Amino acid sequence: METVLTTHFANERYRRLDTYRQYGGYEALKKALAMDPVQIIDEVKKANLRGRGGAGFPAGVKWGFLPKDLSRPRVLVINADEGEPGTFKDRVIMTRGPHLLIEGIAISCFALRAHACWIYIRGEFVREAGIVDEAVAEAYAAGFLGENILGSGFDLDVTVHRGAGAYICGEETSLINSLEGKRGWPRLKPPFPASVGAFGLPTIVNNVETIADIPWIVTHGGETFAALGVEKNGGTRLIGVSGAVNRPGVYELSAGVNLKDIIYEHAGGIKDGKKLKAVIPGGSSTPVLRPDEIDVSYDIESMAKIGTMAGSGGVIVIPEGTCMVRSLSVLMNFYAHESCGQCTPCREGTGWLKKIVGRIEEGKGREGDVELILDLCDNMMGRTICPLSDAAAMPAQSFIWKFREEFDRHIGEQKCPYGNRF
Amino acid sequence: MSVAFSEGARAEFERLLTRYPDRKAVILPALHLAQKEFGFVSDDAIVYIAGLVGTSPAEIEGVATFYTMFNRKPVGKYHVQICRNISCSLLGAEHLIEHISEKLRVRPGETTPDGKFTLTKVECLGSCGTAPVMQVNDEYHEHLTVESIDRILDQLP
């Protein structure tokens, strides 16, 4: 199958500018600089490129939200805060092909008429930030960034900015606050970032993978990109498979690949010849699936139809013999730890979910605890500034809906049937 | 006791100021610099950064305490941060955490008496495909086993 991003990732030197250029790197930028910015945005719209950070919003449409008048400078912010458990694809782009991202940034900023871009990289990715920083320096030295890029008269400054350990900063308005040097608290919308974003300026926030796709789209055309995927879901996706599979890793596959094939063909099936018990299909926040539900196309609409999400492309595979209550307890600890504390339903809700799921796992569950969890979830969803509250409630609900008998058994027997172990 | 950046860190701070339209945007980068320079973000470091940025220590403190990576207390020479999230747990992270805990004779959150190691359980490090994972200072260590952990920790000077 044709690949957009990973074609040369096996070559260690591809991260360097000279090798990247040997494979045609920055030719797309040259082409783009000769195009009308509106034409580039049209190609991105035709590409059916959906945001790869998790929400899946059409990138071209998002770009269209910037105000028409150019009186205020606009900026691009790259979300490289990869933090959704199960997601580890942007790290691969940044370490293997950082120039794909930088060329994508240059083209996108030209299309958006933006002259400044910040790449917000999660703080733990020290090495990755170093690699991207080096690549940015190479691009400046070669005239692909900076003033008067390739004689076009277009100026662009790109700066690598490191986060400091906060899952919430992957939410775009939290990321903007964090970039501005504040606590990473999500902002109320409206105003949307496209009108008032970073430093009060019109801002587009895009995921690393989304922007890394842009050079290929400019080179080959939006329709060619769209054809690599399925209806409304253009191109390929970097899908990360983790957990109990024989070949965990990142796979570049059509946006309409079958979820079962991702696990059994590409990732080599379940480890140690075990049976499959459950799949968290698109990062830890997405509703869990039972084995009989995974014969489905991984595109955004098909996944929504079965009540879950392809999210950020992180497939977490849970094998037979795993305690689902313990698994959920791990996730609930995570959300309670990461809630920023601004909104009461989330701050209190995530804490209570952690506590109640934890006590069920410890064999201290009470009659009615399962109903209490579901009631809490009802009161957490759609009632907060950002989706972290929903992100905690969705796994809690779905684990109960799909594996209710395990919760009941823990409470009934007053112990974990799996011996409190993974 | 007041603290100050080395010449190199001071130059880096000045360079950073040119990269943002607002002075306060350098708060996170400055906190990273401070942690690198002083080993942790002390009260004195907070006051120092506030002076450099031109804001109150309270604002810097408020920012610093929001983020897990800024250590407000000293940590060991090696900060061993092991992931406890789902993909790592599915591949044995709980057992590995117990192993490190026994090996170093500290509980998560504690530092060895000689000040060499601090052990911390952390949330997802974004390396789930190579789980289980830990980060020792800036370095990631992936595909962990009891044996590889022993090897990694034993050879640290």
Q: Is residue B137 part of a domain?
A: yes
The closest alpha carbon to B154, from A342, A366, B146, A360, belongs to B146
Cβ A241–B27 below 8 Å, yes or no?
no
Q: What is the pLDDT of residue A1?
A: 75
Do the chains contact at B63 and A159, CB–CB below 8 Å?
no
Confidence of residue B1 (pLDDT cuts 50, 70, 90): low
Contacting residues of B for A246, CB less than 8 Å apart: none
* CATH number for position B146: 3.40.30.10
CB-based contacts of A272, cutoff 8 Å, min separation 6:
A244, A319
Asked if A240 has any chain B CB less than 8 Å from its own CB, the reply is yes
Residue of B nearest to A339 (CA): B66
Q: Are strands A74-80 and B134-136 parallel, antiparallel or unpaired?
A: unpaired
- Last residue within a domain, chosen from B23, B41, B64: B64
pTM value? 0.98
Q: What is the DSSP letter of A113?
A: T
CB contacts of A136 in chain B (<8 Å) are none
ipTM score above 0.85: yes
In chain A, domain spans: 12-227, 236-319, 324-413
> CA A203, CA A193: separation in Å to the nearest integer?
5
Sequence-separated contacts (24+) of A20-26 with Cβ below 8 Å = A20/A97, A20/A99, A20/A100, A24/A219, A25/A99, A25/A100, A25/A103, A25/A215, A26/A99, A26/A103, A26/A142, A26/A144
Using a CB–CB cutoff of 8 Å, tell me whether A163 touches chain B: yes
- What pLDDT is attached to residue A278? 98
Q: Considering CB atoms only, which of B69, B86, B92 is closest to A330?
A: B86
Please identify among residues 22-51 of chain A the ones whose CB lies closer than 8 Å to any CB of chain B: none
- The alpha carbons of chain A give a radius of gyration, in whole angstroms, of 22
**Minimum distance, in Å, between the CA of residue B133 and any CA atom of chain A:** 12
In a domain, B2, yes or no: no
> Which strands sit side by side in the sheet containing B139-141, from one edge to the other?
B117-122, B78-83, B134-136, B139-141
Structure tokens at A325: 């209550």
Question: Do B55 and B111 share a domain, yes or no?
Answer: no
**Which of B25, B32, B129 is facing A180, going by the closest CB pair?**
B25
Q: Examine residue B69 and state whether it is found in any structural domain, yes or no.
A: no
pLDDT 10s digits, B59-103: 999 999 999 999 999 999 999 999 999 999 999 999 999 999 999
- Whether B53 and B88 map to the same domain: the answer is no
Q: Which two tokens stand for residue B86?
A: 């789902």
Looking at the fold, whether B149 and B89 belong to one and the same domain comes out as yes
Q: Do B22 and A180 touch (CB under 8 A)?
A: yes
d(CA A163, CA B28): 7
**Contact A160/A122 with Cβ under 8 angstroms?**
no
The number of C-beta contacts closer than 8 angstroms across A and B is 148
Q: Is the domain of B20 the same as that of B83?
A: no
Query: Pairing relation of β-strands B117-122 and A114-121?
Result: unpaired
pLDDT by residue for chain A (422 residues), tens only, comes to 799 999 999 999 999 999 999 999 999 999 999 999 999 999 999 999 999 999 999 999 999 999 999 999 999 999 999 999 999 999 999 999 999 999 999 999 999 999 999 999 999 999 999 999 999 999 999 999 999 999 999 999 999 999 999 999 999 999 999 999 999 999 999 999 999 999 999 999 999 999 999 999 999 999 999 999 999 999 999 999 999 999 999 999 999 999 999 999 999 999 999 999 999 999 999 999 999 999 999 999 999 999 999 999 999 999 999 999 999 999 999 999 999 999 999 999 999 999 999 999 999 999 999 999 999 999 999 999 999 999 999 999 999 999 999 999 999 999 999 999 99
| Strand, coil or helix: A81 | coil
Q: Which residue has the tokens 């190479």?
A: A138
B143/B145 Cα distance (integer angstroms): 7
Facing A87 at nearest CB: one of B20, B27, B126: B126
Tell the CATH topology of A324-413.
de novo design (two linked rop proteins) (1.20.1440)
Tell me the two tokens of residue B32.
């990273």
Q: Classify A74 as helix, strand or coil.
A: strand
* B108 interface with A at CB cutoff 8 Å: no
Q: Indicate which CATH number applies to the domain containing B20.
A: 1.10.10.1590
Same-domain check for residues B85 and B138: yes
User: How many domains does chain B fold into?
Assistant: 2
- Assess if residue B71 is contained within a domain: no
Any idea which residue has 């305490």 for tokens?
A: B65
Same domain, B37 and B105: no
Q: Confirm or reject CATH 3.10.20.600 for domain A236-319, answering yes or no.
A: yes
pLDDT of residue B69: 97
Shared-domain flag, residues B88 and B146? yes
Of all residues in chain A, the one with the smallest CA distance to B84 is A330
CB-CB under 8 Å, B128 with A85: yes
Residue from A93, A124, A125 whose CB has the most chain B CBs within 10 Å, to mutate: A124
B138 lies in which domain range? 78-154
Residues B104 and B36 in one domain: no
B87 and B147 inside one domain: yes
DSSP per-residue letters across A135-199: HHHHHHHTTSSBSSGGGSS--BEEEEEE--S-GGGGSHHHHHHHHTTS--PPPPSSSPTTTS-GG
**CA separation for the pair B137, B80 (Å, rounded):** 7
Instruction: Give the pair of three-digit tokens for residue A302.
Output: 């098909």
CATH 3.40.50.11540 is the classification of domain A12-227: yes
Cα separations in angstroms, A380 against A146, A276, A385, A392: 46, 30, 11, 9
Say if residue A34 is exposed, middle or buried (CB neighbours under 10 Å; 0-12, 13-18, 19+).
exposed
Confidence (pLDDT) at B144: 98
Closest alpha carbon to A193 in A209, A177, A207: A177
Dihedral sign from CA coordinates of A220, A224, A228, A232: positive
Please report the sign of the dihedral spanned by the C-alpha atoms of residue B141, residue B144, residue B149, residue B150: negative
Q: What radius of gyration, in Å, describes the C-alpha atoms of chain B?
A: 18
Residue at B32 is within a domain: yes
Pairing verdict, β A203-207 and A276-280: unpaired
3-state secondary structure of A250: strand
For residue A71, which phi and psi values (nearest 5 degrees)? -65, -35
pLDDT at B93: 98
Contact map slice: B 30-89 vs A, CB within 8 A: 31-32, 53, 62-63, 66-70, 84-87, 89
Residue B116, domain member (yes or no): yes
Residues B89 and B29 in one domain: no
Same domain assignment for residues B106 and B143: yes
Residues 334-363 of A with CB under 8 A from B: 334, 337-338, 340
Smallest Cβ–Cβ distance between B128 and the set A86, A183, A338 belongs to A86
Domain-located, residue B73: no
Q: How confident is the model at residue B2 (pLDDT cuts 50, 70, 90)?
A: confident
What are the tokens at B91? 């591949």
Q: Would you say the C-alpha torsion B116, B121, B123, B124 has a positive or negative sign?
A: positive
The answer on B150 and B83 residing in a single domain is: yes
Residue A60 CB-density burial (10 A; 0-12 exposed, 13-18 middle, 19+ buried)? buried
